[in-house]
Amino acid sequence: MTSRRKFIQTTALTGLGISMIHTQLFAGILEQDTPYKMTPLRNNVGFFTERGGTIGWMISKDGLVVVDTQFPEQAQHLIEAIRKQSGRQIDLLINTHHHGDHTGGNIAFKGITGKLVAHENSKRNQMRVAEANNQAAAQLYPDTLFDKEWSAKVGEEVVTLKYFGPAHTDGDALVHFENSNIVHMGDLVFNRRYPYIDKTAGASIKNWIEVLEKAQKIYDKDTQFILGHADNGFGVIGTKDDIKAFQSYLSRLLDQVGADIKAGKSQDEVMKITAIKGADQWKGDGIARSLSAAYEELTAK
């Protein structure tokens, strides 16, 4: 080996060593300095957490997809994080449903996204709530609506949205990154945390249980699920077991409140329930929202 060749090899190795150390340092600094977290899952798909419902993303050289937007400040953080990796326009923005912690940041994507897709009821709910609160000017509304199913190819990925009827609201989409086999569930799963059940937006606990049954049937063992919210100590990424656990929580909630109603208990008495039998992983604050929604649903004519 000539000394020149050896010199080049040594330099190349040294260069690589230094750049690896730099990357590690840089990653460490990023993690400490940002209020948000970007976590890759599989292929080019991952999730973003800061404040509000978990955001899903796909960042590849030939396609950018964002699912949900938290609030304007968080959406801006996500856009900055994406810009570090890609300068292309967002191909596809999706809302899983209308709640403000999932659509509040839409406005940050104005002018930099292609389609903005949601279920037709999600847009209707978003408009209704925004107008009631004088927040219409702060909204960016979906421009592409679907009823049962919607699908698009983005780069190498196929993104398919499905709707199985009312659940957390009456406009919840399940968003499947098919090749990566990752599904964004929106707020269809609250992981070991008491759910918000939005009766003002057509929620149905009974059908929610069915929606989760369908999700367990159509996706497989290998599917990774992005979940809207989780309690402390539990993750916003789950498997079918987590879907099943939450489905069981909803079933037991209906069973317990239903039995109390049958036994002649008043709504005030039902509201005194402090735990759902057989669902002891659900604890802490927030059970009242479950009880009032179940009572309302079971006594509706």
Phi-psi category of residue 253: left, alpha or beta, with phi > 0 → left and psi -120 to 50 → alpha = alpha
Question: Could you say whether residue 195 binds Zn ion (CB under 5 A)?
Answer: no
User: Is residue 124 near Zn ion by the rule CB under 5 A?
Assistant: no
For position 184 contacting Zn ion by CB under 5 A, the verdict is no
To the nearest whole angstrom, how small is the minimum distance from the Cβ of residue 237 to Zn ion?
Answer: 16
How far is 188 from 178, CA to CA, in rounded Å? Answer: 19
53 binds Zn ion (CB under 5 A): yes
Span from 58-66, 77-85, 100-108, 201-209 in contact with Zn ion (CB under 5 A): 100-108
Residue 53 phi, psi dihedral angles, 5° rounding: -65, 140
Give the total of residues touching Zn ion (CB under 5 A). Answer: 5
CA dihedral 256→251→122→288, nearest 10 degrees, is 30
CB atoms within 10 A of CB 164: 19
Pairing of strands 190-191, 229-230: parallel
Alpha helix positions (H), 160-222? 205-218
Q: What minimum distance in Å lies between the beta carbon of 150 and Zn ion?
A: 20
**Structural element, H or E, at residue 271:** none
Q: Which part of the chain contacts Zn ion (CB under 5 A), choosing from 25-33, 79-87, 118-126, 221-229?
A: 221-229
What contacts 191, CB < 8 A, 6 or more positions away?
227, 229, 230, 231, 234, 235, 236, 238, 242, 246
- CA 105, CA 73: separation in Å to the nearest integer? 7
Specify the residue, 152 or 209, whose C-beta has the smaller distance to Zn ion.
Answer: 209
Residue 284 C-beta: closest distance to Zn ion, Å:
17
Q: Least Å distance between CB 229 and Zn ion?
A: 6
* Residue 99 engages Zn ion in binding (rule: CB under 5 A): yes
Q: What phi, psi does 50 have (nearest 5°)?
A: -150, -75
Q: Closer to Zn ion by CB, 101 or 242: give it.
A: 101
With CB under 5 A as the contact rule, the residue among 68, 91, 101, 172 that binds Zn ion is 101
Question: Under the criterion CB under 5 A, does residue 56 sit at the interface with Zn ion?
Answer: no
Among the listed ranges 18-26, 53-61, 232-240, 290-298, the one in contact with Zn ion (CB under 5 A) is 53-61
Q: Which residues bind Zn ion (CB under 5 A)?
A: 53, 99, 101, 187, 228
